[in-house]
Structure 1
Amino acid sequence: MQNKIWRDVQDVEQLSQGIVAEIQEIKQKAEKSEDLVYSMCKDIKSLDIAKRNLTFSIAALKKFIMMLTAIEKLKEHCKEKKYAEVANLLSAFTELSQYFVKFQNIPQILEINGEKEQLIKDLKLQLIDDFILFQKGTNLMQVKDLQDACQTVEHLGLKFRDELIQKVCKYIISPYQELFQQIENRSLETTERRYAWMARVIKDFDTKTQNVFPEYWAVHCQIYYEFCAVTRLQITDILETLKDLDVAVLMKALQATLKFEQKLNDEMKKRYEEWLGKKNINQFAISELPKIKGAISDSFEPYLRPYIDSEEREIMQHIQTILNSDKLDVEGDLKILNSSMSMFAYFKQMLKRASQYSRTQVMFDIQKLIKKALKRYSDEIIFKINQSRNNEQLSQILCCFVINTAEYCKETIPALQESLVQHLDSPFSDQVELSNEEEYFNQMMNKSIETLLVYVDSKIDQFYQQMLKIDWNEFENMGDASKYIRDTISFLEGHIKTIKDLLSESYLIFYLNKLVVYLNNKFINSVFRIKKISEIGLSQLMLDVSELKTNLVRISKLKQESKSQQSFNNFVQKTLSRSDSILKLIQMSIEKFVENFPDYAKKYESAPTDLDKILGLKQLRRQDVPQLNKFFTKIN
């Protein structure tokens, strides 16, 4: 049994050894197969790389041969001026060149690129010659050939296109430059001939080059721009050398220039409307016009002082003329000086004239001139007021007309300022300010009112001199209003009647308010000049104040009741209440006076200065009223 088991064990061992041996053999065979597969794959990969390299080399060789062929054909077509084929070959060569960008340092590539650059350089010179010769009329090329040439130009780039147009423009303008540089043509009188020359040349150019240049190249714009540049230099030179500028000739030349620029600008806008202001895909298309307006006319600006001086002489002479012709038509609808309306109408004409020439410095100088004229007008009116004082009736009427005129001018100045701003470009428009000029007319108005009040004072003062001659301490016969008040009212009645229908309601009330303040102060100052007043005298003075109030309201009454009238009536009562209060304080006992004066002081700012005067009339001294010491402190 044991032997049998031993034999079985031995058999299993032998079998296991056989299996391990077979596994080792299989492993060895697998390793050999793997090496064989790796070797085969490596060979296949090498063959694939070789195939790709061969394919690339063949393609590169083909493209290189194509480039060589393109260069040879390009030379041939350039020589024969077959520009349609040249354009195509340039496009093809550019595309082929992209293939060799990585190999541009290879000698063969460097050589062919250098050959191409030289060829293009020669081609550019040839194209410029062709277009110049065509302008001269010595080139037998047809329009179609030149159209193809334009395509070739675009293939050569925007920079060369601009260079070509500039050369053509300079050739077209060079005869003009020579012609008007001659001594007999170097004057402002030839300005219109310059623009006529340009019109003829453009007409000839259109006839000769019809359909040659692409419209979107805007060759006309460049020709005009070159013309304007040359003209500006020549006109500036003329203006610098002329010693005595004839204003008429100067302005005629400027006007012709502005008209020419405006016409060109409008024409170019219309012609190239399709491309202007747009982001064109075509880089050769015009997107904005060169500066035409002002291209020539701006050169006149520094030399237009004679024009400004001429305008100044004319406006100052005009102001003097219209002032001399002013008439005070009291029956007319408008109670203002006609000269003011004529002046503003003249300003409008000045602006219209100047706007034909400038929106910058010259127009700004005209604005300064208008300000100067407003000051001159105001000064002349004030002088006129002073001169009229010898004629009382005329002076009153004139002052009323001046007040109305000042009102009209102040109302018109904002519109004038707005008009000036609209006629100016920035930054000049930002500097327009006529507030000082408005103040001139406030001064005119104040002068008129002052003159009227001075006239009133000259008449009323004699009545108050009569009042001061009365012995108010011995006054006993109280009755109607005193004679000085009756005379004052009588004068005021005539004065207000004269001016009442000449002033607008607002300015009539404004003046009457001033008049009331004056009358109140006149009365109070006269009272303070009296040494002593009896009880009856005080009562008479109170009656006089009441009479003055009543009659001021009566004689100042407007034709129709209004808020202004009611406001004036209230103003009369309030203003003259100070006179009443002073008379009452004088009439009071010391105790009442001390008790009531603080209330008076609250209402009137003049209370501290009035205090000593009232005490004098009451025959009192400061030490008699120690309770009012704080008011004496204010006086001190």
Structure 2
Amino acid sequence: MDSNDILDDKDSGPEVQINFPSSVMSRIEEMMGGTEQFDSAEFDAVAYINRVFPTEQSLSGVESAAARCEFHLAGVEHDIRRLVRAQAEQREAGQNALVDAQRCIAELALQVADINKKAERSESMVREITSEIKQLDCAKSNLTAAITALNHLHMLVGGVDKLRSMTRSRQYKEIVLPMQAIMEVLQHFECYREIRELSSLREQVHAIRTELAAQIRADFKDAFTAGSKSTISHRTLSEACAVVDILEPKVKQELLKWFINVQLQEYQHLFSAEQECAWISFVERRYAWLKRHLLATEESLANIFPHSWRLSEAITQQFCKITRSELSNIMSSRRSEVDVKLLLYAIQKTYNFELLLHKRFTGTELGAEPVDVGNDKSTNEFDDNKLAGVEPEPVEAGRPGGNNGSPWIGLIGACFEPYLSLYISSLDTNLRSLCDRFIQDAKAPASSSDTSANTSGAVISSCADLFLFYKKCLVQCARLTTGEPMIELAGVFQKYLREYASAVLQASLPRAHSSALPLAVPSMPSIVTNLHTLLRDDNQGNDARYTKQEISKITSVITTSEYCLETTIHLEQKLKEKVSPGLADKIDMTPEQDLFHKIISNCIQMLVQDLELASEPALQAMTKISWLNFDNVGDQSSYVTQIIMHLKNSVPNLRDNLSSSRKYFTQFCIRFANSFIPKFIQNIYKCKPISTVGSEQLLLDTHMLKTALLELPSIGSEVRRPAPATYTKVVIKLMTKAEMILKLVMAPLDGNLEGFVAQFVQLLPECTVAEFHKVLDMKGAKLSKAQLSSLDVLFKETCKNVNSDINK
């Protein structure tokens, strides 16, 4: 085959362009010794010739260079022809391989088709072989079912006659297994209910079961009815109980109901409403009767009733229901005879009894924990000797209802709940006496020990006594009920919290005799109003400062009110935990908490006003200084020294007294800064006219006072602590305003009123027109009404523009 034919054959096929990655191409070039530069798309023949023959002398070797190129070209053509021939051979071999593969595939398809035909023939043969076997198997199943049905029918027919015979002869022990077998057979025949004979047999079985139930009830009535001469043994009755277990559940329920009523007939007779011992003062006798009766019943009837029937528990439960109903009725009819002592006695005895039942029957039908009743043969659980050393344990629940898994607690005691208002009334009376004692102690002169306690701002001792009594009342009432009486108790607590706040805490404040509250508990607004009257008014000429003992009383009231506030919050939480969930929202002690907050706030205001009163003479002395005639700036003025001295004398004592209430000491510092610094600024406005030197001196005094105020929380203390950030922010903001006012006073007018207004608004953007006038008065500016009016307009416009820029 000619090479041209090969090339033509190659070109006749689809053109395939293979693009190799750059890494592959570089590797090919490396193996082939690099790619000829003539293959490059950027090859420049002229430049190449100039590089090979740079001079005329080098042209002498052009023939040899051309010979080398021709030789190389011939070698490349030879390689191309060789590669084309090899490719043609490989193409032919590939086509041959493809033809061989197609031939093999066709042969394989023929073999698969042949296998499928053979498989179909085999399946047909298997179906023919097994068709007769399936028929035989179906016949066998039908025959087995028929034989089973006939056997069951034989058992049913024979069993009915046998059951009827054993029922009449009271062979209860032998009845159990046949009866269970017959019931299973009847269950098997449920799908044949339309057969008349089977329906007749089913009716006969149900008739026998009904006859059995009636006969067993009659046997028990004969055996346990007073005056009857029954010959039925306990063993026969015990075997009858086993039969009852396989009858309808209502048979067992009716039998137990009748038997329990028989057992409690004596109790209902002994403690009927006409009997003297039926009254709640003899309630313990009721519980003693049940203990004795259960002991006797368990000893005499332990071999009759199965343990699974829980006879003692059922008798006890019915006893509790009857007792609750009878006690409710008798207390309702004799309500006037119920007093709190008698009520609490009955509640305590009932609670102890219910707690005993909780321990005895834990894990049973009404209990919450599993117990092995099969091995529980301790029939003397109610023995008084065993109970002699047992004390009742508190159960974290109310009496009726939810008691954390013990339904016995409150099963009887619920009848006392409608009368617990008597108990709440007694608590009210006791709290009234307790608060009267607290009031008398507050009015009595303080002893030396009390004086030493008050000097440290300690909590008033009566406060702890009050809440301790509250705790005892809450624990005791929570054991009795979780219902409405708990809401009444919360109301009593709130009443005496207000009483304590008004008649004890307020009475402890100095000069409280002039505004003392009456002993009757006032409303919330009247308390607040009277507390405000404790704050002294400087305009009334009352400039006497509090003594050290009076300061101690005020700080003691603060710490006591804080204790009352925190304890009241916890008291409200505990009440909501103890009360029924549906009533928790009715408990709200927020007004009482607000009252203690108000007392603390007013006490802090009293301390602030007292310290301000000490600084008042110094501020007045500042306004009397002739600031216009100052010649030079010296050290801080005497009035600043006087103010700092008062701070050093007063604040350390307050800090020590409020050491246990640091947050209220911080509040005192913040309030003092918010109240004193504006007064200081108002007194700065009174220093007019003032010269530039006087302004500089006053600015120096302001800076020294600012430094002292920043150190106020730790003034006089050996331990230096950084002042709270909130307090520092207040002092810096207000004192910076005072400094800016003095800087504006020092700023010259020089006829440039517009520039002064712009500077004023820039330094004091929150100032008013009135303050602007005061600064002008301090500068001694002499302006006409027209100038002043135009300045006011300019001031307002500038403030408006500045505010609009800030909002943007």
TM above 0.5: yes
Please tell me whether the aligned partners of residues 328 and 398 of structure 1 are also in contact (alpha carbons under 8 angstroms): no
* 2:298 is the counterpart of 1:206: yes
Equivalent position amino acid for 1:519 in 2: F
Q: TM (normalized to structure 2)? A: 0.62
Equivalent position amino acid for 2:214 in 1: L
Equivalent position amino acid for 1:180 in 2: F
* 2:347 is the counterpart of 1:254: yes
Query: Which one of 760, 772, 776 corresponds to residue 611 of structure 1?
Result: 772
Q: Return the alpha-carbon distance in structure 1 between the equivalents of residues 192 and 652 of structure 2.
A: 109
Q: Which residue in 2 is equivalent to 1:623?
A: 790
Cα distance change of structure 1 residues 58 and 111 upon mapping to structure 2, 3 Å threshold: closer
SS in 1 for 2:452: coil
Q: Which residue in 2 is equivalent to 1:152?
A: 243
Please tell me whether the aligned partners of residues 400 and 503 of structure 1 are also in contact (alpha carbons under 8 angstroms): yes
Q: Which residue in 2 is equivalent to 1:233?
A: 325
Q: Return the alpha-carbon distance in structure 2 between the equivalents of residues 53 and 486 of structure 1.
A: 119
Please tell me whether the aligned partners of residues 601 and 608 of structure 1 are also in contact (alpha carbons under 8 angstroms): no
Shift of 1:343: 2.9
SS in 1 for 2:427: helix
Please tell me whether the aligned partners of residues 428 and 492 of structure 2 are also in contact (alpha carbons under 8 angstroms): yes
* 2:121 is the counterpart of 1:121: no
Q: Which residue in 1 is equivalent to 2:595?
A: 440
Q: Return the alpha-carbon distance in structure 1 between the equivalents of residues 763 and 551 of structure 2.
A: 37
Instruction: Indicate the larger mover: 573-582 or 424-433.
Output: 424-433
SS in 2 for 1:221: helix
Q: Return the alpha-carbon distance in structure 1 between the equivalents of residues 639 and 152 of structure 2.
A: 127
Q: Which residue in 2 is equivalent to 1:173?
A: 264
Residues 278-334 of structure 1 show CA distances to partners (whole Å, capped at 9, x for unaligned) of 9x9xxxxxxxx9942222222322321121222233234434434554645347777
* 2:695 is the counterpart of 1:538: yes
Q: Return the alpha-carbon distance in structure 2 between the equivalents of residues 436 and 582 of structure 1.
A: 44
Cα distance change of structure 1 residues 62 and 633 upon mapping to structure 2, 3 Å threshold: closer
Cα distance change of structure 1 residues 298 and 421 upon mapping to structure 2, 3 Å threshold: same
Q: Return the alpha-carbon distance in structure 1 between the equivalents of residues 233 and 632 of structure 2.
A: 125
Cα distance change of structure 1 residues 100 and 350 upon mapping to structure 2, 3 Å threshold: closer
Instruction: Indicate the larger mover: 459-468 or 120-129.
Output: 459-468
Please tell me whether the aligned partners of residues 582 and 614 of structure 1 are also in contact (alpha carbons under 8 angstroms): yes
Aligned ranges 1:299-310 → 2 under 5 Å = 299-310=415-426
Cα distance change of structure 1 residues 262 and 391 upon mapping to structure 2, 3 Å threshold: farther
Q: Which residue in 2 is equivalent to 1:503?
A: 658
Cα distance change of structure 1 residues 334 and 588 upon mapping to structure 2, 3 Å threshold: closer
Instruction: Indicate the larger mover: 406-415 or 492-501.
Output: 406-415
Q: Return the alpha-carbon distance in structure 2 between the equivalents of residues 528 and 508 of structure 1.
A: 30
Q: Return the alpha-carbon distance in structure 1 between the equivalents of residues 149 and 629 of structure 2.
A: 143
Cα distance change of structure 1 residues 328 and 413 upon mapping to structure 2, 3 Å threshold: farther
Aligned ranges 1:74-153 → 2 under 5 Å = 77-95=166-184, 97=186, 116-136=205-225, 139-153=230-244
Please tell me whether the aligned partners of residues 417 and 433 of structure 1 are also in contact (alpha carbons under 8 angstroms): yes
Shift of 1:575: 3.3
Query: Which one of 451, 457, 477 corresponds to residue 354 of structure 1?
Result: 477
Please tell me whether the aligned partners of residues 472 and 534 of structure 1 are also in contact (alpha carbons under 8 angstroms): yes
Please tell me whether the aligned partners of residues 163 and 179 of structure 2 are also in contact (alpha carbons under 8 angstroms): no
Cα distance change of structure 1 residues 231 and 612 upon mapping to structure 2, 3 Å threshold: farther
Q: TM (normalized to structure 1)? A: 0.76
Q: Which residue in 2 is equivalent to 1:513?
A: 670
Q: CA RMSD in A?
A: 4.1
Q: Return the alpha-carbon distance in structure 1 between the equivalents of residues 732 and 485 of structure 2.
A: 57
Q: Which residue in 1 is equivalent to 2:682?
A: 525
* 2:741 is the counterpart of 1:585: no
Equivalent position amino acid for 1:582 in 2: I
Q: Tell me the percent identity.
A: 23
Q: Return the alpha-carbon distance in structure 2 between the equivalents of residues 56 and 582 of structure 1.
A: 116
Shift of 1:146: 1.9
Equivalent position amino acid for 1:223 in 2: I
Q: Which residue in 2 is equivalent to 1:44?
A: none
For structure 1, which runs of at least 5 residues remain unmatched after alignment? Answer: 1-47, 281-288
Please tell me whether the aligned partners of residues 482 and 544 of structure 1 are also in contact (alpha carbons under 8 angstroms): yes
Shift of 1:424: 4.0
Shift of 1:550: 4.8
Aligned ranges 1:41-56 → 2 under 5 Å = none
Q: Return the alpha-carbon distance in structure 2 between the equivalents of residues 159 and 295 of structure 1.
A: 25
Equivalent position amino acid for 1:225 in 2: Q
Q: Return the alpha-carbon distance in structure 2 between the equivalents of residues 277 and 600 of structure 1.
A: 81
Equivalent position amino acid for 1:307 in 2: Y
Shift of 1:153: 0.4
Q: Which residue in 1 is equivalent to 2:557?
A: 402
Instruction: Indicate the larger mover: 411-420 or 513-522.
Output: 411-420
Please tell me whether the aligned partners of residues 640 and 701 of structure 2 are also in contact (alpha carbons under 8 angstroms): yes
Number of residue-to-residue matches in the alignment: 572
Aligned ranges 1:238-317 → 2 under 5 Å = 238-244=330-336, 245-270=338-363, 291-317=407-433
Query: Which one of 751, 760, 773 corresponds to residue 597 of structure 1?
Result: 760
Q: Return the alpha-carbon distance in structure 1 between the equivalents of residues 149 and 247 of structure 2.
A: 30
Equivalent position amino acid for 1:158 in 2: P
Q: Which residue in 1 is equivalent to 2:49?
A: none
Shift of 1:152: 0.9
Cα distance change of structure 1 residues 631 and 301 upon mapping to structure 2, 3 Å threshold: farther
Cα distance change of structure 1 residues 270 and 60 upon mapping to structure 2, 3 Å threshold: closer
Equivalent position amino acid for 2:790 in 1: Q
* 2:568 is the counterpart of 1:452: no
Q: Return the alpha-carbon distance in structure 2 between the equivalents of residues 397 and 53 of structure 1.
A: 103
Query: Which one of 548, 556, 560 corresponds to residue 715 of structure 2?
Result: 556
Shift of 1:233: 1.3
For structure 2, which runs of at least 5 residues remain unmatched after alignment? Answer: 1-139, 374-404, 443-449, 513-533, 535-543, 804-808
Instruction: Indicate the larger mover: 376-385 or 53-62.
Output: 53-62
Cα distance change of structure 1 residues 447 and 119 upon mapping to structure 2, 3 Å threshold: same
Please tell me whether the aligned partners of residues 232 and 296 of structure 1 are also in contact (alpha carbons under 8 angstroms): yes
Cα distance change of structure 1 residues 391 and 316 upon mapping to structure 2, 3 Å threshold: farther
Q: Return the alpha-carbon distance in structure 1 between the equivalents of residues 264 and 590 of structure 2.
A: 51
Equivalent position amino acid for 1:94 in 2: M
Please tell me whether the aligned partners of residues 424 and 488 of structure 2 are also in contact (alpha carbons under 8 angstroms): yes
Q: Return the alpha-carbon distance in structure 1 between the equivalents of residues 613 and 422 of structure 2.
A: 50
Shift of 1:403: 2.4
Q: Return the alpha-carbon distance in structure 1 between the equivalents of residues 769 and 285 of structure 2.
A: 84
Please tell me whether the aligned partners of residues 601 and 607 of structure 1 are also in contact (alpha carbons under 8 angstroms): no
SS in 2 for 1:240: helix
Q: Return the alpha-carbon distance in structure 1 between the equivalents of residues 429 and 627 of structure 2.
A: 64
Equivalent position amino acid for 2:746 in 1: Q
Query: Which one of 436, 458, 462 corresponds to residue 335 of structure 1?
Result: 458
Q: Return the alpha-carbon distance in structure 2 between the equivalents of residues 354 and 416 of structure 1.
A: 14
Q: Return the alpha-carbon distance in structure 2 between the equivalents of residues 58 and 558 of structure 1.
A: 108
Equivalent position amino acid for 1:87 in 2: V
Q: Which residue in 2 is equivalent to 1:38?
A: none
Instruction: Indicate the larger mover: 542-551 or 162-171.
Output: 542-551
Q: Return the alpha-carbon distance in structure 1 between the equivalents of residues 628 and 772 of structure 2.
A: 20
Q: Return the alpha-carbon distance in structure 2 between the equivalents of residues 189 and 462 of structure 1.
A: 75
Q: Return the alpha-carbon distance in structure 2 between the equivalents of residues 90 and 575 of structure 1.
A: 100
Cα distance change of structure 1 residues 72 and 189 upon mapping to structure 2, 3 Å threshold: same
Instruction: Indicate the larger mover: 119-128 or 330-339.
Output: 330-339
Please tell me whether the aligned partners of residues 608 and 632 of structure 1 are also in contact (alpha carbons under 8 angstroms): no
Q: Return the alpha-carbon distance in structure 1 between the equivalents of residues 643 and 615 of structure 2.
A: 6
SS in 2 for 1:356: helix
Shift of 1:160: 1.3
Please tell me whether the aligned partners of residues 761 and 799 of structure 2 are also in contact (alpha carbons under 8 angstroms): no
* 2:282 is the counterpart of 1:190: yes
Q: Return the alpha-carbon distance in structure 1 between the equivalents of residues 626 and 295 of structure 2.
A: 104
Please tell me whether the aligned partners of residues 330 and 502 of structure 1 are also in contact (alpha carbons under 8 angstroms): no
